[in-house]
Structure formats: structure tokens, C-alpha cells
A and B are shown apart, each in its own frame.
Chain A
């Protein structure tokens, strides 16, 4: 008889059980985890910290294509050459000594004619550059989306649940922010500030991006607050806070999750666009956006690999992230199945 009253698993334990049964979700989770591990390793400097070394010739093609005659000639031309001795040079002795020192510490290396995924205009390794650029873009996208969804959910819950004066106040706030389209606001602030930086982008995106989640969460709360289960919670004396965040939020959290997955995509794209226009990351910081900016002109020259690397890495991450968020929603909200 005791077994009949065994503790039933909670919402999140059930969700995790359902998630584990979903092979696509676990695959997506593995990809996202791999990207996050890569981000962690590159941010503490274990990998890709030497991406700025010019290890190959300009526009070295990927290894699987192989070097053509042009690239080989370029590599030969770029080998360090001895200048003929100048009898009238008063610094000849000092220069010879310095050159010998340099050669001792930095032996001349022949620049590679091919790299695993090619090289850019300066001969940087595209794979390392993509990893480093991913670090910037992922951090911007994730942190900004978290800020935006948290703000939007809080404001939307308060606004939709209480209505009246509070609703008016938040709507006033909302109208001011949405009346100026976020992309215009971002561009304007970027132009006015003249201050480029990763934190600046995160704050601008996060503080202007809460309006989308807010509007949808408010509509959800208006819809849900009149439903029977909320009235029942009210009847047993649940406080407003508890009804808002204990009862309604789990039933509308999938909207926030879908929003979050869309926002991460949106913010990574926004960062890309800002960097493309030159309003984004500062000079010297690489992101997928600044890579696409370079790749646009390379495509006309037939050098497609930087475009493929940046957009491929971005598409892979964002696809995995969205698939996982989708599966998470299905797992958290079984009544949709």
C-alpha cells in the first residue's frame, strides 16, 4: 500500500526525463555544450590565442582544395630575402648583429600554402579566427538575450496580471521604447556614443530588446489570469506573486523560451550587422560580424572560405541552440504533445 503514495517526480525531473528520450535534443545539447566549452577554452587563452599570427600566405586556400601555382609563387615570394650588402651603410655592422639575433630567436619559416580551412587577407588561420570570433558573438548573444527576456517577463507579468495603472505605466514605458524601432535606437546610440565595446553592445541590445517578450508575455498573462486554475489558486488564498510566478509562469514559460531562442539568434545577428556597418566591436576584436564584413569583398575574388566558416559556425550553433530550446519547450509543456 505504501508504494501507491511514492513521491511523484516534479516538473523539471519529468522534463529532463522526456528530454533525455529525445535524441535530437541531446544531440543539439552536445553541440551547444561543445561551443560553450570552446568559448571557455578560448576565453582563458588555451586555444586560438595565437589567431593573429600570420602563418600562411594571403588567401591560402583550404587543404582539401590544395594550393594552386599562384599561391605557391606567392609563398616563395614572401620568403625573407637577403638584401645585397651596402658598402656605404654606416650601421651595417649593427644591423647584421640585430639580424643575427632575430634569426636566432625567430627562425624564418616558410609560410604555409594551405591551411585546414584556408586563410584570410593577412594569412590568419580561419579556424582559429572563427573560434575567437565565436567567443565574442556568443557572449554578446547569450548575455543580451538573458537580460532582455528576464526584463520582458517581469514587466509583462506585472503588467498583464495587475492591469490598470501598473499596466498603463509599463505600456507607457513600452511605447517609448518601441516607438523608436530597436535597430534605429541601437544605431543612434552607437553613433551618438562613439564608444565601441562588447559590454556596450550587450547593454544596448539587452535594454532595448525586452519589448518583444514583454508584449507576448503580457498577452499571455491577460489570457491566463481569467482561467479557472488561477481562480482556483486565488480561492485557496495564493498571493498575487505566487499566482503570477508559481502558477501562471510555468504555463507560459515556453513562450519566454521560444522568445529567448529567437532573441539569441536575433542578437547574434544584430551584433553581426552592427559590426558589418562598423558600429559594433572595436578594431582589433574579431567577431563573426567583422569576419562577414571582410568576406563580402572576398566573395567577388572567389575566396569563399571565410564566408563559409563564419556563417557555417554561426548556423551550426544557432540551429543547435534553437533545436534544444524547442525540445525543452516540448519537454516542459507536455500538453502540447
Chain B
């Protein structure tokens, strides 16, 4: 167990290096010379040379890579090219609004998904099951853009139940006023695919021998479902939730963009539109680190829920 954790932590170094090299190749090699971008349209050679010297892009690629690694290690990515705001400050200040939407959304989605999947899987084949599945397939076949456009138009613009967009200063105001409609839309979009997936996980388990044994022992149906089946179906569910957590930070960018929420996702879109490379690089590296930690946690949780899984 301990050796597994140590080995995985040790493995993070080459993974991180892989990510760093990938990002480096994308931005410094594929992306071309940023000096022309920064110098603007009326640049002379001296100005371009000057910018190259400041950025270090006149150095060989190995030296540039080392500069990038140094930036990562010191958490100092300099200032954003477009606004001049320190990159570390951008990330710190945009994280809060993103989490205000994403934490309630993830909790609601997972709890609802598991509860509905267990309920539906045990009446499988019935009319209810088929109706819910058809509703799910129809619901998830509509683009998130349509949900956002229509919900924002109907509930915020026409009916005025929610603000069309905006963001306040206090957590309570944001959560109860501005984040409410984005959370509802996020839930409407995500609950259908989640339910479908979890149902297929549960269906994998309900006909296993241990379920019959549990019933033969005289256990209540509730205990069979919520203890025996849930624990076995939990492995793929954990995979799904854990794998999606860090990506969600970026994934909600459409909600953030439409509703004017100053979060990480909206910042990424803005940075991509402005070719603001330091911001994208920094966010990519931080999200990468978070993802690796979450993957390790997922594997540790496997063993906690299923002792048959041996981590060696």
C-alpha cells in the first residue's frame, strides 16, 4: 500500500514532465514566435529583438524549456500579456466563482445520479424504466448550447426569475442569486448521461450471485441495493466522478461565458481568444497537477470499497 503510494508519487514526475513538454511543444514550437504577436503591427526589428530577449525565445529550445520549468517550480509565470495582471493573481481570484457553481453541481449530480440509477435498475424492463431511459436519451441529445440559450431566454429574459447575468461580491449572494440558474442548467444537462451510465454499472451487478445470496439470507431489499450492490457498482462510479472533477473546472466555461461568471473556464476562453499564452500555460499546469492527485485518490478509493482489488 505504502509502496504503491510512493511509486505513484514517483510516477508523477515523468507524467508532469510529459505534460510540460507537451505544453512547451504546443506553445513554443507549433504556436510560432510570440514576439510578433506582442510587438503589434508596427514593430521594428529592435523591438522584436528586445521582446525575444525578455521572453528568452532567442535562446535554444533546451534553455527555453528550462526557463519554463523554472517558472513552474517558482509559481511565477510573470504577468498576463493582454492585461498585465500577475498570472498567479488571475488564477487565485477566478477559482472562487468557478467552485461556487461546480461544488453544488457535482454533489447534486452524483447523489441524484446514484439514487435514481439504483431505483431505476431495480424496476428494469418496466414501463417506468423505459420511459425514464427514453427521456434521458432525448434530454442528452440536445446540445448544452440549446439548454443555455433557451433557459436563459425563458427563465431570465422573459420571465425574469433569475438575473440574465452578473456576479456579486459575497458568497451567499452569488450562490443564491447568480449561480442558481447556471447550476440548474448544469444539472439538467448532466443528469441524463450520468443516470444512463450509472444504470449500466448497476445492471452489471444486480444479477451477480452475491445479490441472490444476500436476498436468500433474508436481507431487506433496501440493504441489498444500498449496501451490497452500491459497493460493487461504486468502482466505475468512482472512476467517473474522479476523472471528471478537475476537467469540470474548464468544462463549465460555456455556463461562465453566457452568465458572465468570472471563473477559470471563462478566463481560458478569453486567453485563447487573446493568445495570452502565460495564462493558458499556467492554468494547464495547475489543472494537470490537480488531475494527477485525483487519479491517485481514485485508485486508493478502489481498495477502500473493494478489498479484492490489490494495489501492488
Residues in chain A within 8 A of chain B (CB atoms): 24, 168, 171-172, 175-176, 178-184, 187-193, 211-212, 215-216, 219-220, 222-223, 226, 254-255, 258, 262, 265, 268-269, 272-273, 276-277, 279, 288, 292, 295-296, 299-300, 307, 311, 314-319, 321-323, 326, 329, 335-337
Contact = CB atoms under 8 A, between A and B. Distances in A.
A-B interface, 4 closest residue pairs, ranked by CB to CB distance from nearest:
A318-B141, A179-B288, A181-B247, A176-B18
A192 B292 contact: no
B51 to A, nearest CB: 19
Given A172-B11, A172-B15, A179-B287, A192 B30 contact: yes
Interface in B1-43: 11-12, 14-15, 18-19, 22-23, 26-27, 30-31
B235 A219 contact: yes
B5 to A, nearest CB: 15
Interface stretch (B64-72, B145-153, B217-225): B145-153
17 contacts: A172-B18, A176-B18, A176-B19, A179-B19, A184-B250, A188-B26, A216-B236, A223-B235, A226-B308, A254-B200, A262-B197, A288-B143, A292-B145, A296-B145, A311-B142, A318-B140, A319-B138
A226 B306 CA distance: 14
B193 interface: yes
A171 B15 CA distance: 9
A300 B149 CA distance: 10
B22 A176 contact: yes
Given A299-B153, A311-B142, A322-B141, 14 more contacts: A176-B18, A178-B295, A181-B249, A181-B251, A192-B26, A216-B236, A219-B236, A272-B143, A273-B144, A316-B141, A317-B141, A318-B140, A319-B137, A322-B140
A217 B18 CA distance: 23
Interface in B224-269: 235-236, 239-240, 243, 246-247, 249-251, 253-254, 268-269
Name the interface size band of chain B.
35 or more
Nearest to B240: A216
A314 B292 CA distance: 35
A273 B145 contact: yes
A131 to B, nearest CB: 18
Contacts of B291: 175, 178-179, 181
Interface in B70-129: 124-125
B304 interface: no
Contacts of B23: 180
Chain A binding surface, main DSSP class: helix
Nearest to B291: A179
A176 B196 contact: no
A315 B309 contact: no
A222 B273 CA distance: 42
B243 A314 contact: no
B57 interface: no
B132 interface: no
Nearest to B235: A219
